[in-house]
Amino acid sequence: MKELTLTHKLSRTSSAVASELDNEVVMMSIEQGEYYGLGQVGSQLWRLMEQPTSVQHIIEQLMAQYDVSFEQCQQDVTPFLTQLHHKGLIHITD
């Protein structure tokens, strides 16, 4: 995959089974056989990808919720989203 850009659309894959537990998302990758706890911000990212959405929209939503600059948010979010993609938990399209 090329570098993730602001215009890429992200969506959840069907191979991840997720559930809310104490206001945080926990999930299991059926394909990987791995369990993940996403934490507060990771859980918010997961919720934002319920419907296909752009990286830019995710960043803008997080900026509205947290006191963070666009640049810092992008630097923090992009590697996490890339990791979710590499684990097969999200789809990325142009």
42-64 mean pLDDT: 94
What does the radius of gyration of the chain's CA atoms come to, in whole angstroms?
13
Say how far apart CA 45 and CA 71 lie, in whole Å: 17
Structure tokens at 94: 């142009």
**2, 22, 40, 68 from 88: Cα distances, Å:** 16, 25, 21, 28
**Rounded distance, CA 38 to CA 5, Å?**
22
Q: What is the pLDDT of residue 30?
A: 81
Decide: helix, strand or coil at residue 82: helix
State the pLDDT at residue 57. 97
pLDDT tens digits for 16-45? Answer: 888 988 888 998 888 888 888 998 999 999
